[in-house]
Structure 1
Amino acid sequence: MDNLEKQLICPICLEMFTKPVVILPCQHNLCRKCANDVFQASNPYLPTRSGSLTSGGRFRCPSCRHEVVLDRHGVYGLQRNLLVENIIDMFKQESSSSKPAPASKEETPMCDVHEDEKINIFCVTHGVPTCSMCKVFGAHKDCEVAPITSIYQTKKTELSDGIAMMVGHNDRMQGIISQLEEACRAIEENGRRQKTLVCEKFDHLYSILEEKKREMSQKVTAEQEEKVNYIRGLTRKYGDHLEESCKVVEMGIQTMEESEMALFLQNTKALLKQIADASSTAHLDKVERGYESMDHYTVEFKKESKALRGLDFLQGDEDEDEEDEDAEAGAGEGEGAQTAASAASAQPPVASPSPGVARSAAST
């Protein structure tokens, strides 16, 4: 019965499954309420109505990290696991009808200093379990102590709350990773679209603008690669942090299964510190709103196209007196100045440094 009960524990609330129980595509089970909580944590920006999600989305199974894609019905579109629900009913009936088994006497660890004394109190001053002899005659005689049972319940509650917080934290982080992946795809798509628009504009300017077209296209590509690399770098950082957090959660779950109070308390202090460290995301960067936009590379060449269409050979005066060399030289200088002015007006505008690049450089 104990082994059966472990199989009926929800990985989110760490309690026995509550009806209705939904089955994920990866064949793992969740309470519907827990599945809805994980879904909302992974999709914080989806619209809601009266507390229920009204559109499809995705989240990852907390047991195997398999991605679950939902339709417009959300978690209510998942199939119920009637077999598990029936097993829960039978288990509860069997548990209520059977007599409680006598509690087995567990071995209590002995004090390292007083080998004949059991560890039965907790030193609040030093934060370690100890024995009564240490309090009376030993190293903890001047310390504040408390019953080990009360400290056990307090620390176990604290660890349980920490594990629940880490599970929610990991789900939110998974949602951030999914959004980063979406942002990466949006940047790539926007980059391709903007390069196509830039190329279409430059194709009307013929060979004299080929070099400029190549330069501006390279600017779009450079910012696209910079942003994609930045997003992918953040994805890797969040993924590494998520992996470490999952390991801490696994260690916490294993510690929760420790029934011996003294051993539990010996391992709780370091584990709580690891949970506090893993809960902090202050060292992880956040992507600014609109970072994936590439619209600042929009170009328009109506004015330059008009100037290029107006370029033509200069029409000289065929009846001009060629004997006046000074006037002819002046006319030549005027023609050169007019040609230079026309060419200058035909030059396309130089794109300003992208705000994404400037922002990344400033943050660096």
Structure 2
Amino acid sequence: MDNLEKQLICPICLEMFTKPVVILPCQHNLCRKCASDVFRASNPYLPSRGGSVTSSGRFRCPSCRHEVVLDRHGVYGLQRNLLVENIIDMFKQESNSSKPVPDRKKEMPMCDVHEEEKLNIYCVTHSVPTCSMCKVFGAHKDCEVAPISSIYQTKKTELSDGIAMMVGNNDRMQGIISQLEEVCRAIEENGRKQKTLVCEKLDQLYSILEEKKRVMSQKVTAEQEEKVNYIRGLTRKYGDHLEESCKIVEMGIQTMEEPEMALFLQNTKHLLKKISEASSTAHLEKVERGYMNMDHYQVDFMKENKALRSIDFIQGEGIEVDDEDEDGEAGTEQPLLFLEAVLLQPFASNPLPPSRLTPPLV
């Protein structure tokens, strides 16, 4: 019976359930009055009628903290637990029939000084229950006293209000915790977003560098191919001249072996003219000194290196953000534009003069 009685105690008023008893969606039970008090404490600004809130709203179960959502009928929309009400009636009947009156008298608290006197009055001065003898002859004769029943109802109401207030405070605390968790999730999401934006901006910078690398390499390759083609063409010309000279030498050797003097002299005139023409290389182009060098394509990336190493987030307050950059892209455009402007100058100094592209004819 004691265990059954514990199961029939309301977690708000700490007394046995008072009918009607309502059952919450989480299967816990409350007195309807206690449920109304908790709901009113959790929703202090909702209008009330007849001391009870009949508007829709929500509160948390004092036993398991499960959120209870009410419709427009308020706590009157909660289903009554007739089974618990019947058990309460049976328990009260069984308790009245099984517990004799003397046993209940023995359980009533007695005065420590006057052991035969019951604690039937309340000392308001010292805030303790006492007996009539203590008021007349004892330590509380000069104190202010009141009937213990009235003080009991007052303190019980205060305790019930305190519990309802604590339930409301717990609900507000739970709301703060939910807000903090939401802030934490927002911080994580914003962090991921900003890291994505930073990576996109750096990828743009990588693409600019790759494009400049391609363009500058193409310029060097173009001059390299032009010079190589010219030298190869000049090599073919010198090869042709050498081949012609070798043929003249062979003709000269054959002429030297001619025993007939008249025939020798007849062939020598034409051969000497060819030797004279073949001995001259004035008609062949000559390569200018240093033509093979490519050191005029010098680069100096000290400013660019410094700019790259100085890339960072914008520091300070009061920075104006353009409307089109409100998505977090503002601040990274300036270093990118600066680097792009610097990289538009592909070579630091000594641009290739037009006269160096084609060797002069000698």
Q: The TM-score by the shorter chain falls in which range? A: 0.3 to 0.5
Q: Which is greater in Rg? A: 2
Relative contact order, CA 8 A, sep 6+: which one is greater? 1
TM-score (normalizing by structure 1):
0.45
TM-score by length of 2: 0.45
